[in-house]
Amino acid sequence: MLAGSAAAAEKKSAEKDAWKKRVFTAEELQKYNGRDGQPVYAAVDGIVYDLSKSKYWKTGTHMKQHEAGADLSADIHEKAPKGIHKDGKILNKMPKVGVTEEYAKKKPEASAVKEKAGAPKENKVKK
């Protein structure tokens, strides 16, 4: 019975991390703009989130300023209210569905992703 539990736990862990293997090109991400029945996806710091269930993204546009289907890293870091988006508390509630092509090239070992505030940390190697 324990072997079955271990296998189930391993399967659940693999499913939980499956998003790390899904790579989106910029062109592909643009399709997920919330229009014509498409889900609402946006990338922040290389991670693609599904924002479809957020009442603030229902139309694919957020606050008449941000469009889904794009990399919104700069908007989050420079324009978003810090009190609301502090430490990624909003994005961390959203399902992760993949990574951007750029991020995948930088971090081919996607299973070793370390996150803070919904964004990957950069590891600096001393030479």
| pLDDT over threshold 90, residue 12 | no
- Domain annotation covers residue 62: yes
Task: Give the CATH number for residue 93.
Answer: 3.10.120.10
- Domain annotation covers residue 43: yes
Instruction: Please state, as a whole number, how many other Cβ atoms lie within 10 Å of the Cβ of residue 20.
Output: 19
- Domain annotation covers residue 95: yes
Domain that holds residue 91: 17-106
- Domain annotation covers residue 2: no
Total domain count, the chain: 1
Q: 29-80 pLDDT, tens per residue?
A: 999 999 999 999 999 999 999 999 988 878 777 767 778 889 989 888 877 7
- Domain annotation covers residue 112: no
- Domain annotation covers residue 102: yes
pLDDT of residue 3: 60
- Domain annotation covers residue 31: yes
CB-CB contact of 97 with 41 (8 Å):
yes
pLDDT of residue 106: 87
